[in-house]
Structure 1
Amino acid sequence: MQSQNPIIADLVKLANSAAGTMAGMSREARESARERLREAFGGIDFVSREEFETVKAMAQKAREQADALEARLAALEAKNTSK
């Protein structure tokens, strides 16, 4: 059953319009915030987890090789000084 009162009908229309406007403003604010974040982080170069892990493994291997070479050098120097 619908009300025939024009004042109530106008109030309902006003409430519906306000709800639609608020939803639109919310959507607009969210999109604006996303765009500002994209601009802020646009100049920063991020690496993927896979790239990070690959470089980390390479660094670990290089460190192990450097330690092994250091030990060999120390052994050669010790052998050389004992002669």
Structure 2
Amino acid sequence: MIEPKILDDLARKLADSVPRGLQDFQRDVEKNFRATLNSAFARLDLVTREEFDVQQAVLARTRMKLEALETQVVELEVQAGLRKESQKPLEEQT
């Protein structure tokens, strides 16, 4: 979810665009902007940059492990005589 400080800053900037003579109205508008923005961002089901970076790192580690396992399977198949050394793994053949 978006950090509350970012929403507050965005709501404040939008409210600051309202003429200064309408101070009470401006406070109400800021509250409404904040609630509207919060609701809109909640519906988007966004993740934070930190969550995204963590998942990206997990995916990279998983990909490395998968590639190592694929190499190991090919080596075992060669040792068992199920595959010639010159044959590529199945995913590389397509």
What's the TM-score, normalizing by structure 2? 0.50
- Provide the residue aligned with 1:60 in structure 2: 60
Q: Aligned partner of 1:23: which letter?
A: Q
- Provide the residue aligned with 1:4 in structure 2: none
State the identity %: 30
More helix by share: 1
- Equivalence map 1:1-83=2 (5 Å): 20=21, 22-81=22-81
Higher relative contact order (CA 8 A, sep 6+): 2
* 5+ residue gaps, structure 1: 1-18
Query: Deviation at 1:70?
Result: 0.5
Bigger Rg, structure 1 or 2? 1
Q: Residue 47 of structure 2: SS of its match in structure 1?
A: coil
* 5+ residue gaps, structure 2: 1-19, 85-94
Q: How many residues align structurally?
A: 63
Give the superposed CA RMSD: 2.4
What's the TM-score, normalizing by structure 1? 0.55
